[in-house]
Amino acid sequence: MQIIKSIESLRETLKPLQREGKTIGLVPTMGALHDGHGALIKESVKDCDVTVVSVFLNPIQFGRNEDLDKYPKRLEADANFAGSLGADYVFAPSVAEMYPDGDPLTMVRNETLECLYCGAYRSGHFRGVLTVVSKLFLISKADHAYFGEKDYQQVFLIEHMVKDLNFDIKIHRVPIVRDATGLALSSRNEYLTDDERKRALAISAGLKEAKDAYLAGEKGVSKLRDIVVKSIVLNRGQVQFVEIVNQHNLQKFSGVLKPTDKIVVLVAAFFGKTRLIDNIEFN
């Protein structure tokens, strides 16, 4: 496992491998790796000859009052973890390396979808994500890239970007990894107190309850939504949004669901000061 800090040296390292026809897998992360990232790395190692894990805390996807400064940082441990799973390189550039002139003047946007759901509460977030992910794709020239489905809107927007802009890369979605209690793994779970962590299980429990109700015949959008909201509120969580949306275009459903509708429920909620997201597909 080698840690590479400059764009030029990553390119120089990968170029001969690419010339030999080796396939490159990229796992973009912001560090503080956990088993959710582990699942992405394992998929890449399984599919590709060479796996690069990027560890870059991307400032342009954080709002002014968000947790950029307190986001956990532990590069050595991350590199050991990635290496133990078979990754070959960790690409860990500095902010100056990625953005030598400060915030880039050119950014990638999806003006239609970036303002929905998470984007409605995190202004500029998805523009920052799409911009850094584009840079990572262009720097690495990877053949495959791996993203977790916990960030459902993020992976949807990345897939759209790849299609819209003809990036020559295959995007792989990897299912959410949960701990034994059902909590979706996230680097931000580290912020939770023991009590908040217990109460935060209301998110996954509420999602499961809504799916069970759907499978048992409940097709009313507001009834299904209320099941999730109630679970969170009863456990003293603060709901930011619970939305029942179309997997194919992320548009909200209303009224009564049809049997052919492809449904995903997206949630964001606070437990204490920690904002958590989660989701569940019904079919």
Binding site for ligand PAF (CB under 6 A): 28-30, 58, 61, 129, 132-133, 151, 154
The count of C-alpha atoms lying within 13 angstroms of the C-alpha of 42, restricted to the half-sphere facing its C-beta, is: 11
Residue closer to ligand PAF by CB (options 190, 195) is: 190
Residue closer to ligand PAF by CB (options 129, 245) is: 129
- Single out the residue of 205, 223, 203 nearest to residue 214, CA to CA: 223
Residue closer to ligand PAF by CB (options 1, 68) is: 68
Q: Which residues contact 76 (CB under 8 A, 6 or more apart)?
A: none
Distances, alpha carbon 195 to alpha carbons 117, 149, 160, 236, 270, in Å: 27, 26, 38, 11, 13
- Taking CA 68 as the corner, what is the angle to CA 134 and CA 114, rounded to the nearest 5 degrees? 45
Residue closer to ligand PAF by CB (options 178, 208) is: 178
In DSSP terms, which residues pair with 271 in a beta bridge? 274
Least gap, CB of 133 to ligand PAF (angstroms): 6
* Sign of the CA dihedral with 27 first, then 29, 32, and 34 last: negative
Residue closer to ligand PAF by CB (options 28, 124) is: 28
Amino acid at 81: F
> If you search the block for the tokens 């599919």, which residue do you land on?
47
* Residue 37 is a catalytic residue: yes
Least gap, CB of 80 to ligand PAF (angstroms): 19
Least gap, CB of 58 to ligand PAF (angstroms): 4
Q: Identify whether the C-beta of residue 173 lies closer than 8 Å to the C-beta of residue 147.
A: yes
- Single out the residue of 234, 233, 212, 232 nearest to residue 224, CA to CA: 212
Least gap, CB of 221 to ligand PAF (angstroms): 28
Least gap, CB of 26 to ligand PAF (angstroms): 10
What is the Cα–Cα distance from 112 to 114, expressed in whole angstroms?
6
In DSSP terms, which residues pair with 51 in a beta bridge? 25
From 34, 37, 125, 144, the catalytic residue = 37
Least gap, CB of 278 to ligand PAF (angstroms): 14
What is the Cα–Cα distance from 242 to 240, expressed in whole angstroms?
7
Q: Identify whether the C-beta of residue 30 lies closer than 8 Å to the C-beta of residue 125.
A: no
Residue closer to ligand PAF by CB (options 83, 128) is: 128
Q: Which residues form the catalytic set?
A: 37
